[in-house]
Structure 1
Amino acid sequence: MMTRPHATPPGADALPPRKPSRSATREAVKVWGPVVLLAAIGFAVAWSFVEPAPPAVVRIATGPDGGAYRQIAERAAASLARRGIEVELRATSGSARNADLLRRGEVDAALLQGGGFAEAGGAETLQAVVTVGFEPVLLVLRRQGDAPVVPVPLPAAAGLAEDARVAVGGAGSGTEPLARRILAGLLREGAEATPRLRVGGDAALGLLRSDDADAAFLVLAPEAPRVAAVLADPGLVVASLPQAGALARRDAALAAVTLLRGVVDPSRDLPAADVETVAAATFFAVRDDTHRAIVQLLVQAAREDATPDLLADAGTFPTLLHAPLPIADEARHFFERGPSALYRHLPFGLASALDRLAILLLPLLTLLIPLARAAPPVLRWRLRRRIYRWYTRLRAIEADAEAGHAPEGLRERLAALDDEAADTEVPLSYMEEFYNLRMHIDLLRRRLGEPGPRTAGVSGGNGRRSADAAPS
């Protein structure tokens, strides 16, 4: 056991108190400094790869106010709002306009209609996220004479007259390009070049009723009030397309569907008979550089939208099928695997931050942990090496004493060595070697004729004071 330090002998010069040791601090800085520096460099490099935070406001291009696209977007906005994301809905003329806004970066996401916009080919920057439903293509004709009000077939042989006045939808809508694609399949080659009426919606129906148009294309969700109004109008009739399956086979943007009798309004038996037609997929789309958090939110919103689709069986939507654009990788991953544990158990903002910062684990695992494990042994080795250097200096002083050097100079060198050792903090694992050094310094001091130790005595491993180890 260690003994308490002895007081300074009477008459001996009192030594000034020692200042707190800074040697261990300097050693720690020398060892831990490079560790902290390398870790900081690793974090700085990793930070450059950290994905930016998702935008505070998500802008979604919808369609005309009151339309089906607007309703779908409003339900998605409600889902995003529950996760703390503000949504700005932008009303447009339709799918073609939506695609244009999305390509130019004026919106973050858009609802598009399969075949309802011009694709950019190999340079296309748009990607599909998830398909949320079908919109049937309705070819509305003016009822002739005593023709039945129920949907009538449109045989391929009869088709439409080459000079027929057909309202194909307004400019910027998704109806126009879709109607032209269908007409290209129904009419003889070259007939589709006949100028069409670029009018849609209620304006197109007005032209039909006033005998200023022979047919009109409508692309609407079956739930839209306009669909029921058309089916109930005695002056209009919806054509059934027996060629729907063939059109869908020839055009990947179309799917053959059947508007079942009474599905629009069972109480009024609308439609009064099955209507065979084609439908376009309605899907969310983003750019290829859109933040992946937006993609995840749109997929999740589509999953939460439980609105039934009148053209498909339950569980058909949402789906990754039917969209004419390539599916975003993040959408496919999120759709198939669902949200991660972070998003299931944490608020979206916090989960997104942790997800983005996960890349910072790379420098932590590859640099900081190995360096942190290596630093303490390095620090101990440096302190132990210092003890060995002190012994080297002590041995040199002893050799000079045996060679007959002046004791005054040797005592000064010995005192400097003792002061340096006393001012150094040594780990407990090396205290035995440190105490042995202090005893040997005291032993050599007595051999040089100094009356007593300049510092408080220390005890060796056997519990005796260092002075006891010195010869009398």
Structure 2
Amino acid sequence: MKKITTELKEHFVAMYEALRDEIVSWAQIASDAWPLLLLLGMGLGLTTWFAKPAPPDHVYFAASDPGGEFYAMGKEYVDFFRERGVTLELVPSHGGKQNFDFLKNKQDLVQAAFVQSGIVPADETAGLLSLGSINYQPLWFFYRGTDDQEAEEKIGKFLSRKISIGPEGSSTRIQALRILALNGFQPTPNMLALSHDEAIAALRRGDIDGMFIVHGINSRRIQELLHDTKLRLASFIRAQAYARQMDYISVLEVPMGGFDLARNFPPRDTQLLTTTASLLVDSELHPAIQMLFLQAATAINGRGDYFARIKEFPAYRDATVPESPVAIRYHKSGPPFLMHYLPFWIAEFIDRLAVLILPLVAFAYPILSKIPGYRLNRLRARLAKSYGELKFLEADIVNHYKSEAHEEYRQRLGDLELNVIATRIPSSLTEYYFGLRTHIDYVRDKLMQSRKGVSEAAES
């Protein structure tokens, strides 16, 4: 037992001495190369300063009213973000116009929103970026009565009746008023600003004769209207002309019976005007969160629907708002490689680390590669300085030796030798090191000879 204890003690003592020597060695390197290490530290500080911050774990997202299509879609985005450790909080709104206002107001917390094409003025896009369009948003006009193709062709026929053109600030109202303006019509008291749910209820009761609504095909409201056998759907037979007048408008074709073959609805080939909904973000939104939105859009809106092919969205369709550089990379080459295999936060951290380390390595490598040579020159200079001190000490001893100064000479030689011994010398300077040690012994012999000579002279 005593033998084991002794061996363990010796083992730990050896470890301690090795660790101590290593610390002393690194301390000496730091002492020798401190200017280069200081430069390296400054580079690290600057790189860290300019490195991307970590993405937020809480993001505010403007959707629509709680009963609207975008709110329902937004809930899917919320689930997608939650699975990746990010809280996406939906902010209710009155529609695309208010969503745009949220984004433009830098005091507001909203950093992302669904906004339909045609809402954003071209001169008010500063500070905004587009991640691309995420679905079609047709302009539907449903009306009561018999199937009347003439009524469908002449929107003005409805203006003497009560119709809903959508609530204030909604995309529906903006698009409806533009369509009417292109036909030379101005707003009248018969054009009601009803919410979509109010308009649907009023249309079914017969309180109004028609309603405009801008919604995607999968929205609850559109499905209710399409399945109501008492309602008719207008066809914009001059759809191509509207599309030429408004560059954000395109045309969708619905064949006869395309929505319901059993009741042959619609009863003839129908043309719809459509915008697209874009996913807009604050230009300062963290790139990793932008990437997460793009992945969510691919997973949710890339499924396709009645009008959109699978993987048709997200896509950059509306050029009013500049496309985000993150979206450009994503649409070109997909998400970062690591995001295919690692959780979001880990992949994002590695990505940030790479952005931090690569420039640092490029900056640090030349500095680190010079440290050995720099230290070698410093050690050579230190040994040369010791040689210089030894030379002056030797001259003093040979030419001006005094018995009363003997102890001082001996102490100076001892200090010089201890200083040399304490210096950790690389193998390339071994010969230089031992040469200095030999010369110190030589001067020590000179000191002893000088003392002996003085003593002999005094005795004689």
Q: TM-score range by the shorter chain?
A: 0.7 to 0.9
Aligned partners of 2:205, 2:402: CA distance in 1, in Å?
Answer: 129
**Alignment pair present for 1:365 and 2:367:** no
- What's the offset of the Cα at 1:87? 1.6
Structure with the larger helix share: 2
Match of 1:387 among 341, 366, 383: 383
Match of 1:378 among 374, 377, 383: 374
- What's the offset of the Cα at 1:255? 1.2
Instruction: Please tell me the root mean square deviation across aligned C-alpha atoms, in Å.
Output: 3.1
- What's the offset of the Cα at 1:327? 1.8
Q: How does 1:66-77 map to 2 (within 5 A)?
A: 66-77=67-78
Structure 1 residues 69, 426: CA separation in 2 closer, same or farther (over 3 Å shift)? closer
Aligned partners of 1:25, 1:279: CA distance in 2, in Å?
Answer: 70
1:283-313 Cα offsets, whole Å, 9 max, x none, are 2111222222221111111112243221233
Q: What corresponds to 2:99 in structure 1? A: 98
Match of 1:252 among 229, 247, 251: 247
Aligned partners of 2:172, 2:26: CA distance in 1, in Å?
Answer: 76
- Is the contact between residue 128 and residue 327 of structure 1 (CA under 8 Å) also seen in structure 2? yes
Aligned partners of 2:308, 2:196: CA distance in 1, in Å?
Answer: 24
1:226-257 Cα offsets, whole Å, 9 max, x none, are 33443444443211111111111211221111
Deviates more, 1:373-382 or 1:405-414: 405-414
Aligned partners of 2:288, 2:338: CA distance in 1, in Å?
Answer: 13
Runs of 4+ in 1 over 6 A off after TM superposition: 20-26
Q: What corresponds to 2:127 in structure 1? A: 125
Q: What corresponds to 2:8 in structure 1? A: none
Structure 1 residues 269, 68: CA separation in 2 closer, same or farther (over 3 Å shift)? farther
**Alignment pair present for 1:443 and 2:445:** no
**Alignment pair present for 1:241 and 2:236:** yes
Aligned partners of 2:222, 2:401: CA distance in 1, in Å?
Answer: 116
Aligned partners of 2:310, 2:26: CA distance in 1, in Å?
Answer: 71
Q: How does 1:333-372 map to 2 (within 5 A)?
A: 333-361=329-357, 364-365=360-361, 367-372=363-368
- Is the contact between residue 253 and residue 269 of structure 2 (CA under 8 Å) also seen in structure 1? yes
Secondary structure of the residue aligned to 1:77 is: helix
Aligned partners of 2:75, 2:160: CA distance in 1, in Å?
Answer: 41
Q: What corresponds to 1:107 in structure 2? A: 110
Aligned partners of 2:115, 2:314: CA distance in 1, in Å?
Answer: 14
- What's the offset of the Cα at 1:91? 2.8
Unaligned 5+ runs, structure 1 = 1-19, 453-472
Match of 1:178 among 175, 178, 185: 175
Aligned partners of 1:310, 1:420: CA distance in 2, in Å?
Answer: 91
Unaligned 5+ runs, structure 2 = 1-19, 452-460
Secondary structure of the residue aligned to 1:394 is: helix
Q: How does 1:217-228 map to 2 (within 5 A)?
A: 217-228=212-223
- What's the offset of the Cα at 1:127? 2.5
- Is the contact between residue 166 and residue 194 of structure 2 (CA under 8 Å) also seen in structure 1? yes
The two structures have a TM-score, normalised by structure 1, of: 0.79
- Structure with bigger RCO (C-alpha 8 Å, 6+ apart): 1
- Is the contact between residue 263 and residue 310 of structure 1 (CA under 8 Å) also seen in structure 2? no
**Alignment pair present for 1:61 and 2:62:** yes
- What's the offset of the Cα at 1:94? 1.8
Q: What corresponds to 1:317 in structure 2? A: 313
**Alignment pair present for 1:230 and 2:225:** yes
Aligned partners of 1:354, 1:25: CA distance in 2, in Å?
Answer: 29
- Is the contact between residue 38 and residue 367 of structure 1 (CA under 8 Å) also seen in structure 2? no
The two structures have a TM-score, normalised by structure 2, of: 0.81
Q: How does 1:131-210 map to 2 (within 5 A)?
A: 131-143=133-145, 147-148=146-147, 154-155=152-153, 159-160=156-157, 163-185=160-182, 187-188=183-184, 191-195=185-189, 196-210=191-205
- What's the offset of the Cα at 1:72? 2.2
- How many residues get paired? 424
Secondary structure of the residue aligned to 2:371 is: helix
